[in-house]
């Protein structure tokens, strides 16, 4: 076998092996939104795959207490992640997702 042809064949086989070992990209939830009311918070994702959950950060009336971190349970796309929250001031709200 010609040395140049052998190198090209080996390189082609290596590239095919690398492509064959590549893992598919993980899809995550899409179309996500949240709602916060006086006593609860929820998140909903309408598309994609995977799960999501609502997070709420609140500030206690008494500064000595520190922040209050609340999170809802993981919920699949198309379902609601719901949690009760305290009557304290809401500082931040976000949705965590995973594929």
64 inside domain: yes
Range of the domain at 38: 28-98
Flag whether the pTM goes above 0.75.
Answer: no
Is pLDDT at 19 greater than 70 in this prediction?
no
Q: Could you tell me if residue 76 is inside a domain? A: yes
40 pLDDT band (50/70/90 cuts)? very high
Q: In what order do the strands lie in the sheet with 40-47?
A: 30-36, 40-47, 80-84
**pLDDT of res. 12:** 47
- Whether the per-residue pLDDT at 14 is higher than 70: the answer is no
Is 48 inside a domain boundary? yes
Domain membership flag for residue 2: no
- Would you say residue 6 lies in a domain? no
Q: Determine the average pLDDT of the residues in 69-89.
A: 98
DSSP run (H or E) holding 3 = helix 3-21
Report pLDDT for 26: 62
What's the pLDDT band for 27 if we cut at 50, 70, 90? confident
pLDDT of residue 2: 53
What domain count does the chain have? Answer: 1
**Domain for residue 53, yes or no?**
yes
- The whole-angstrom separation of Cα 33 and Cα 74 is 15
């Amino acid at each position: 076998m010609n040395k140049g042809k052998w190198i090209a064949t080996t390189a082609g086989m290596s590239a095919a092996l690398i492509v064959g070992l590549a893992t598919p990209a993980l899809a995550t939830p899409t179309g996500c939104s949240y709602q916060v009311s006086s006593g609860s918070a929820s998140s909903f994702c309408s598309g994609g795959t995977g799960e999501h959950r609502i997070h709420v950060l609140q500030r206690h009336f008494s500064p000595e207490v520190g922040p209050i971190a609340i999170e809802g349970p993981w919920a699949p796309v198309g379902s609601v992640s719901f949690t009760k929250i305290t009557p304290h001031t809401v500082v931040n709200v976000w949705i965590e997702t995973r594929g």
